[in-house]
Structure 1
Amino acid sequence: MRDERLFPLFAEFDSLSGVGPKLKPVLERLTGGETVWDLLLHLPEKWVDRRVKETIEDTVIGEVATVKGEVHAYNAPYSDKSPHKITLFDGTGFLTLAFFRADGRWLQGQFPIGKERIVSGMIEEYQGERQMTHPDYIMDPAKGDRPPEVEPIYGLTAGLTNKRVHSLAVQSLASVPEDLPEWADPALITSRHWPTFRQALYDLHAPSEYDEDMFALARERLAYDEALARESAFALARASRARRSSPAIPANRTAHEALCQSLPYKPTGAQLRAFAEISADMSKTGPMRRMLQGDVGAGKTLVSAMAAVQAASTGFQAAVMAPTEVLARQQYETMDKLLSPLGFTVAALTGRDKSTARESILMGLADGSIDIVAGTQALFQQSVSFRNLGLVIVDEQHRFGVADRMKLAGKAVSPHMLVMSATPIPRTLAQAVHGDLDVSILDEKPAGRVPVETRAVPDTRIEEVVQAVGRALRRGERAFWVCPKVDVDDDDSTAVGRHAALSDQLRVPVGLVHGRMKPAEKDTALEDFRAGRTKILVATTVIEVGVDVPEATIMVIERAEGFGLAQLHQLRGRVGRGDRPSYCLLLYRPPLGDIARDRLDTLRRTEDGFEIAEADFRLRGPGDMLGLKQAGATDYRIIDLARHAGLLETALKDAESVVSKDPELSGERGSSLRLVRELLTPKIQAPT
């Protein structure tokens, strides 16, 4: 039940004076919500200093300024397109006010010669003189009129003015309870010089003065509140898991050594460290919830195979869930190659399996004769049952929702869960993205991986690129060709158009895959390329992750300047998986902007996914980089990860401290955490 003190904040928009049936849907569109609290969370984007300058001479071109001066002259327009002009003078300088298509009589009434006026607006330069076009405010100081010293500026939508949004936000402040307890650590508040929660909202929506430090501290305070709300939700989920019982799956050193000795290469130190962390988790009686995060080609599959061996060698079953049939088949083939020689039975279960073959797999899972199964969402269908499922492995975890993961976990009583992602993220964001999971990172590449040579090529040389691809195909190699769009009439860099052109130019079987195709059609196109039935695959970014074709040595990306840096890195990771030299050709349309040039230069300089993720974060901010939107990392209402990432770790420690001492949140501090969670985690579903 919601705390009654919060009822006024969760009243709908039409509870505000002046909001009726027409304005209510406009506010809903603006805020993405329905309540007074949603409007208060629509924070100003900036604040304008409207304090009156000492002199006109103090104003700066390109900045908003408020000045006082005597009306010196009025000049009527000399043509329909020229403005009315009024000149103010304050003894230090002149300011020209320009009004286009204005009523002359109204202007002369507003600006009588010899009278003082206060005006506020953007200072521009015109023909060497200061000018202000259509001032935001015109006031008579003799009447005591002054503009607000500081004016919050909001993001808007059609049908709303800044003045209207501000007035409604100020009205909404009255709904913030005065008796809310303090949920943040008092010592932290003191050391950071933060205002109270209520005061922070007032400082942002209704500031009494222009003070940039005050705005920053108020925003930081609210960002911490949001971080604390989320981290307390995650801490409660972890505490709940710790109270549940899972089967302890002890390490089997003999089976692990047998797997390592069967490999034609030596596992990296990062792989061994990650497996040691996973193995220790699986040995406990609380359910493991661990993320295995690694760069393209860092060897996540081997680590997951080690975990599967630990389960299978002690009488438990392991299930690997992948987002597509092609990826599930790849997982099956890799696991089968690694583990069948060691005596383990590996199977695949996807939508492709029908009748007798499917029944045989279902029976093997039910009677325990199948140790490891790789599959798609088919794994959590009602007809699938396991004899003793102990480990769930989710590949490309950001492609699955929490509900999907839980459906598969529901096939047993609290199985251990390992989720994997080939999407490196900046370490500063790890807590934002994976706050509910323990994280193991693979930050080394296996020995022997051939670096991919990356080149940026203007699209004026596209014919040379086509010829180079043709030569590679004749040597028995294969190529990816990525286009930014499926099919747009006014743009030639489309998958459909390029597929037709390359089929005509190269005279070889060319595959096509894009997001508008049905899943079965996409799987067929990817499988044809993987099996060599097509020699070049034209695609959109649907091939960004997971597709493993060792014979593919060339990745061509058209209009590369339009892709995110991390996305380009993921696409590049589709090649360089065999023992032949591989190339990534970034076709761009000149001239390049500064950010695009930095992006392509970074990609050419390094193959380190974590370094690339950091660079992408600096260039673009969190946005939807690396699929973080799907992962739930960018649904913050207040936090700006570029500025506030450090608050997440502090909030994590604070939340865990409170939850460990008061797991029911029944004490004074715990009950206050309930309030902030209700305010700032309304849409969060922490995995359990």
Structure 2
Amino acid sequence: MKLENISYIGNKTAYILRQNNIWTPYDLVMNFPKSYENYNIVNLDEAKHNEVITVIGRILNIEHFKAKVHVIKLLIKVEKFQVSALIFNQPFLLKSFKVDDDVLIKGKYNLYSKEIAVSTISKNLSKKAITPIYNIEGVTDYMISRAINDIFTNKKVEIYETLPQSILKRFSLPSRVEMVKNLHMPETIEKLNYSIRRLKYEEAIEMQLKLQKGLLNKIIRLPIEYEIEKVREFISSLPFELTKDQKEVVNEIYRDFKKDYQTKRLIQGDVGSGKTIVAIIAILGVLTAGKQAVLMVPTEILASQQYETVKNLLTSYNVSLLTSKVGNKQEILSKLESGEIDVLVGTHSVASEYVSFKDLGLIIIDEQHKFGVELRESLFKKSESANLIYLTATPIPRTLGIAMFGDLATSEIKSRPSYQKPVKTKHFEESKLNLIIDEIVETVEKGEHVFVVVPAISSELKDFNIENTSQILRPILNEKLYILHGEISSDDRNKIVEDFSNSNGGVLLATSMIEVGIDLKSATLMVVLAAENFGLSQLHQLRGRVGRGDKESKFYTVSNKEDVERLKILERVSSGFKLSEYDLKLRGPGEFLGLRQSGVLKAKYLDFSTDYKILMDARKLSIEIISDESLLENPSYYYLNKILNEE
């Protein structure tokens, strides 16, 4: 059927719709509204910062005062919460409301101060005008709604079901026909949300099926026959006891070794939680089985540090470093291929095509989001069956973790070693900079090390950058000031870090490139200038550069911008996992997308900050479908199988 056969659609409207890739009645009904003008009541504990929300509550108290403008301040009880509703320049409303009135309020919500800047307030609690907004230029929403009503009234389209009845029943979802009707012609908020929930499940199931496809083609190998006594002896020889989290993750890795197929695991460790020693214990396991291991890290500075750590701990084995600057490259490659080298530590060089292993049993990639997909794939090809471990110090919100890494087993290391003291965190306004500089000087005079971090090398758009900050610090610190940024050559960067680390106190002025890769026990103070340019998770990564020894350490953020409340979260939250949830709520998933370069997070309906249960349900269902051949052959699973068979 043509578009012109639908009531209210003439030639001109049909032309515009075709320009928007809408060719048939089916295309039109599957073009869902972009938004709704409605009074959708939200749960306050799910509300996001600066989101326009609608709530119903009871007035507990009324105040009004004149600042620059007239303000009415209502204290409102909403569910179990109390929030303030601020009404600007509408003093006449004082006569309309009194204490104990139930009111409907719509406005922008401040998550931190628990305040709503009111745009609409009413005692009519039953507002239910829900108008679909299609945003098709040249065609009114009213016209589209009338056309869609004609399609359904006169049965001008057939909508096929894409999910089996068993799945609809299991998750209490509407049929596809009911969903489509509700999305275009919602009678109530409940019915609209009921249908949006189905859209979310459809999206989550498709996402998880694509992630879990690897389960259909497990790479079979013999279990890794490690010598557990040697591993236990090594762990007992360490000068510290592993934390509870470290012990659990080690056990999970060794359970992977016992499996008869290749495994892939993501280990998330908060900054300073001790991921490296867990990785070394994992490496030792495959070495006792007569296999080789490789550790790829993002920078030459970190590669050198990790090489020294691994070499000093695994003294019975041959450990080598491979970077673009290594001189005896041919000797290393020859010994690696013959099996004389047990562990290779390095940068992207370890994934080069000329690198070959005799029997690679374990691949570990540290901060894997720093590497491109092709580079990681080239390293995977070094072995057909080696176990894979990703390490990251960027905690990922649990919803995003399922969405991005649902195909990986996941481990978490949250607790820090007991000898490390909590880092004292404080936010300052720029007017206090002179006091901070005095503290920087005092810290250097004690022979300790300081990091000063700025958002740019040179920029008129940033209050602080390398150029103008060095002009402030150089006359005070002289030769005690070291400068590091991305435009300095790799060789020079290594030399600067080495000189800074070996100095008897000094200041390293740098961009955020130092968020990983510098492990300096004597670093006790970090100052981040123009901190409004950094996400909470990134600031937490930077904070992890101090407090790595047993001395008291401090982390200061400096900003004059309006997001002081966001930055002050760092003062009371020390967990990177909790901060990642804040970042997801405040800045969206874009803050974390670099962790996996793929289209898997192109979600239209899922909300990664709230839809954890839906993603978990979808993940469990996807694994069940892939693991059950009878389901794969069931006709009612046709559309789900189609997803699995897509290239």
Common fold: TM-score over 0.5: yes
Contact 2:444-2:505 within 8 A present in 1 as well: no
1:245 to 217, 220, 232: 220
Give the SS at the match of 2:412.
Answer: strand
Q: Which moved more, 1:544-553 or 1:305-314?
A: 544-553
Give the SS at the match of 1:642.
Answer: coil
2:638 to 634, 654, 671: 671
Structure-to-structure mapping, 1:5-404, within 5 angstroms: 17-19=14-16, 43-48=33-38, 150-153=130-133, 160=137, 163=140, 167=144, 178=158, 180-183=160-163, 185-190=164-169, 193-204=172-183, 207-241=184-218, 244-340=219-315, 343-354=316-327, 357-404=328-375
The reply to whether residue 566 of structure 1 matches residue 543 of structure 2 is no
Are residues 333 and 602 of structure 1, via their aligned partners in 2, closer, same or farther at CA, if it must alter by over 3 Å? same
Contact 2:132-2:141 within 8 A present in 1 as well: no
1:265-314 deviations in Å (ceiling 9; x for gaps): 11112111111110111122200101111111111111110111111111
1:602 to 569, 576, 583: 569
Contact 2:369-2:596 within 8 A present in 1 as well: no
Give the SS at the match of 2:314.
Answer: helix
How far 1:664 moved relative to its partner? Answer: 9.0
How far 1:569 moved relative to its partner? Answer: 1.2
Contact 2:353-2:378 within 8 A present in 1 as well: no
Q: Which moved more, 1:636-645 or 1:504-513?
A: 504-513
Contact 2:199-2:605 within 8 A present in 1 as well: yes
Q: Which moved more, 1:389-398 or 1:230-239?
A: 230-239
Q: Which moved more, 1:525-534 or 1:223-232?
A: 525-534
Contact 1:624-1:634 within 8 A present in 2 as well: no
Q: Which moved more, 1:649-658 or 1:483-492?
A: 483-492
1:7-38 deviations in Å (ceiling 9; x for gaps): xxxxxxxxx94259xx96xx69xx9xxxx989
Match of 1:511 in 2: 482
Contact 1:293-1:420 within 8 A present in 2 as well: yes
Q: What is the letter of the counterpart of residue 643 of structure 1?
A: T
Match of 1:466 in 2: 437
Contact 1:154-1:165 within 8 A present in 2 as well: no
Contact 1:193-1:217 within 8 A present in 2 as well: no
How far 1:63 moved relative to its partner? Answer: 12
How far 1:213 moved relative to its partner? Answer: 1.6
Q: Which moved more, 1:528-537 or 1:383-392?
A: 528-537
Give the SS at the match of 2:508.
Answer: strand
Distance across 2 between alignment mates of 1:38 and 1:571: 49
- Find the structure with the greater CA-based Rg: 1
Distance across 2 between alignment mates of 1:514 and 1:186: 58
Match of 2:612 in 1: 645
How far 1:633 moved relative to its partner? Answer: 6.4
Match of 2:453 in 1: 482
Distance across 2 between alignment mates of 1:38 and 1:401: 39
1:20-57 deviations in Å (ceiling 9; x for gaps): 9xx96xx69xx9xxxx98996775133358xxxxxxxx
Distance across 2 between alignment mates of 1:182 and 1:290: 32
Distance across 2 between alignment mates of 1:219 and 1:462: 50
Q: Which moved more, 1:639-648 or 1:539-548?
A: 539-548
Distance across 1 between alignment mates of 2:424 and 2:204: 41
Give the SS at the match of 1:507.
Answer: helix
Match of 1:496 in 2: 467
Contact 1:236-1:663 within 8 A present in 2 as well: no
Are residues 639 and 464 of structure 1, via their aligned partners in 2, closer, same or farther at CA, if it must alter by over 3 Å? same
Are residues 231 and 633 of structure 1, via their aligned partners in 2, closer, same or farther at CA, if it must alter by over 3 Å? closer
Contact 1:567-1:626 within 8 A present in 2 as well: no
Distance across 2 between alignment mates of 1:284 and 1:623: 35
The reply to whether residue 544 of structure 1 matches residue 515 of structure 2 is yes
Structure 2 residues without counterparts, runs of 5 or longer: 1-12, 40-51, 55-87, 94-127
Distance across 1 between alignment mates of 2:526 and 2:644: 46
Give the SS at the match of 1:392.
Answer: strand
What TM-score does the superposition give when structure 2 sets the normalisation length?
0.76
Contact 2:209-2:643 within 8 A present in 1 as well: no
Distance across 2 between alignment mates of 1:161 and 1:478: 63
Are residues 644 and 509 of structure 1, via their aligned partners in 2, closer, same or farther at CA, if it must alter by over 3 Å? same
Q: What is the letter of the counterpart of residue 452 of structure 1?
A: V
Q: Which moved more, 1:499-508 or 1:443-452?
A: 499-508
Distance across 2 between alignment mates of 1:166 and 1:675: 35
Contact 1:508-1:534 within 8 A present in 2 as well: no
1:351-373 deviations in Å (ceiling 9; x for gaps): 1123xx11111112111111001
% of aligned pairs identical?
30
Distance across 1 between alignment mates of 2:358 and 2:643: 43
Residue correspondences, number:
553
Q: Which moved more, 1:635-644 or 1:318-327?
A: 635-644
Contact 2:210-2:643 within 8 A present in 1 as well: no
1:589 to 551, 560, 569: 560
The reply to whether residue 423 of structure 1 matches residue 383 of structure 2 is no
Are residues 178 and 338 of structure 1, via their aligned partners in 2, closer, same or farther at CA, if it must alter by over 3 Å? farther
How far 1:477 moved relative to its partner? Answer: 1.3
Contact 2:351-2:376 within 8 A present in 1 as well: no
1:619-650 deviations in Å (ceiling 9; x for gaps): 44444258556586643222112232210111
Distance across 2 between alignment mates of 1:626 and 1:602: 22
Are residues 165 and 451 of structure 1, via their aligned partners in 2, closer, same or farther at CA, if it must alter by over 3 Å? farther
Match of 2:59 in 1: none
Distance across 1 between alignment mates of 2:213 and 2:243: 35
Distance across 1 between alignment mates of 2:370 and 2:139: 39
1:225-267 deviations in Å (ceiling 9; x for gaps): 11111211222212312xx223421232222123213311111
What TM-score does the superposition give when structure 1 sets the normalisation length?
0.72
Give the SS at the match of 2:382.
Answer: coil
Distance across 1 between alignment mates of 2:275 and 2:406: 21
Are residues 505 and 169 of structure 1, via their aligned partners in 2, closer, same or farther at CA, if it must alter by over 3 Å? farther
Are residues 407 and 534 of structure 1, via their aligned partners in 2, closer, same or farther at CA, if it must alter by over 3 Å? farther
Contact 2:335-2:341 within 8 A present in 1 as well: yes
1:160-189 deviations in Å (ceiling 9; x for gaps): 468389959978x99x98353432x53452
Contact 2:161-2:177 within 8 A present in 1 as well: no
Distance across 2 between alignment mates of 1:253 and 1:408: 28
How far 1:612 moved relative to its partner? Answer: 2.5
Structure 1 residues without counterparts, runs of 5 or longer: 1-15, 50-61, 65-123, 130-147
Distance across 1 between alignment mates of 2:330 and 2:586: 52
1:559-579 deviations in Å (ceiling 9; x for gaps): 224432222211100111122
Contact 1:149-1:209 within 8 A present in 2 as well: no
How far 1:669 moved relative to its partner? Answer: 4.0
Are residues 249 and 41 of structure 1, via their aligned partners in 2, closer, same or farther at CA, if it must alter by over 3 Å? farther
Give the SS at the match of 1:468.
Answer: helix
RMSD: 3.9
Contact 1:528-1:534 within 8 A present in 2 as well: no
